[in-house]
Amino acid sequence: MPIDIPPATQQPSSPPNRSGEEINGDPTADDHDPRADHTAAEALRSVWDRLAELRIYAGYYLTAQLDRLKLTIRQIVLLAVVGVIAAIAAAGALVAAIVLLLRGIAGGLATLCGHVPWLGDLLCGLLVLGIMAFALWYFVRSFAKASRRATVEKYEREQTRQRTDIGHDVAQRAGETESV
């Protein structure tokens, strides 16, 4: 908002002489225009009003950003809760399916054993434990082989790099010191 300064209606006064009196003869004449104080006060009030408005808008913006953050957090928590519930439901369904499968296998084995239910349950349990033990053994064995193979390949690459960089590798240098 531009500040309107009204034109001066007073004649410009003459500069004071060395004695402090006006040259035009009026020692009480004042160069100060009271309307200038009024205009400066209005300008200052306008600045304060704008700053107050800015403070209100900044508060509004910060509140909106805080609410946006709260909404994001609520959405994340809601998705996490739904995910946990879905995981529990899926685990429950998987357990139920496994139980039904094992009950069916146990019933089939019981029929093959002359309709002796406890024998079917026992054979089914042994079968499942045997399969799990074999799977665990196979996993551990495969993991150990892969780990050993990766370690051997790592050292072979390092020895190849040594031969390229310095003309020999640690194994060749070790063989030279043993023969000395």
What pLDDT does 159 receive?
Answer: 93
Residues 6+ apart with CB under 8 A from 105: 124, 127
Write down the pLDDT at residue 2.
Answer: 52
pLDDT for position 73: 98
Is the pLDDT at 20 greater than 90, yes or no?
no
Of the listed ranges 44-58, 67-81, 127-141, the one predicted with least confidence: 44-58
The answer, yes or no, to whether residue 24 has pLDDT greater than 90, is no
Mean local confidence (pLDDT), 41-52 = 91
HSE-up (13 A, CA, CB side) for residue 178: 6
pLDDT on residue 39: 87
Region label for 135, one of left (φ > 0), alpha (ψ between -120 and 50) or beta (otherwise): alpha
Q: Is the pTM of this model over 0.85?
A: no
- Cα–Cα distance, 64 to 179 (Å, whole number): 80
Instruction: Lowest mean pLDDT of 38-42, 93-97, 165-169, 174-178, name the range.
Output: 174-178
Instruction: Name 20's Cβ contacts closer than 8 Å, sequence gap at least 6.
Output: 27
Q: What's the whole-number mean pLDDT along residues 127-136?
A: 97
CA distance 129 to 102: 12
Confidence of residue 26 (pLDDT cuts 50, 70, 90): low
Question: Looking at residue 160, what is its pLDDT?
Answer: 94
Alpha carbon of 72 to those of 2, 67, 82, 83, 85: distances in Å? 43, 9, 15, 16, 20
Burial class (CB in 10 A: 0-12, 13-18, 19+), 18: exposed
The crossing angle, in degrees rounded to 10, of helices 117-166 and 170-179 is: 70
How far is Cα 76 from Cα 70, in angstroms, rounded to an integer? 10
Q: For the residues 78-107, what does the mean pLDDT come to?
A: 97
pLDDT in the model for residue 28:
54
Under a CB-based contact definition with an 8 Å cutoff, are residues 106 and 120 in contact? yes
Question: What is the reported pLDDT for 40?
Answer: 85
Please give the structure tokens belonging to residue 152.
């051997």
Phi, psi for 12 (deg, rounded to 5): -65, 135
What value does the mean pLDDT of the chain take? Answer: 86
Work out whether the CA dihedral 157, 161, 164, 166 comes out positive or negative. Answer: negative
